[in-house]
Amino acid sequence: VSGGSLAVYSGCNVENSSYGATICAERNAALHAVASEGEVGFEMLVVVSDDSPPAPPCALCLQVLAEFCRPETEVHLVDTSYAEGKGGAHITLRFSELLPHPFIFPSMRQS
């Protein structure tokens, strides 16, 4: 996750025996940015996965990210082969292409 300050915040999956308590890398990175630096406007997301084609964020992550992303925020989906320079896939989308109708109360929308 990268915000207006251009700082980069990384995250990783934190698995838990109680699956509902598992935290995906996308939410981990987003909440790291908010908690550590107060970063609330994301300019770009990069999601790296072992899947080919690369996997997008899950629905729960997209809903959480909607609080901090603009519709035009760039989302880069990358598989590990591409990230390692060994071919693979890199897909660039706008956030609104992944979640066209987010659930956000008007009073909570970022300016």
Active site residue 97: no
Tokens representing residue 83 in the block: 């990230």
Q: Which residues are bridge partners to 93 per DSSP?
A: 75
What's the pLDDT band for 107 if we cut at 50, 70, 90? Answer: low
Catalytic pick from 26, 39, 67, 74?
26
The DSSP H or E segment spanning 75 is strand 69-79
pLDDT of 106 above 90: no
What pLDDT, on the 0 to 100 scale, is given for residue 85?
A: 83
16-73: per-residue pLDDT in tens? 999 889 999 999 999 999 998 888 899 999 999 998 889 999 999 999 999 999 999 9
Please, what are the domains in the chain?
2-108 (3.40.140.10)
Alpha-carbon gap, residue 75 to 95, rounded angstroms: 6
Q: What is the rounded end-to-end Cα distance, in angstroms, of the chain?
A: 19
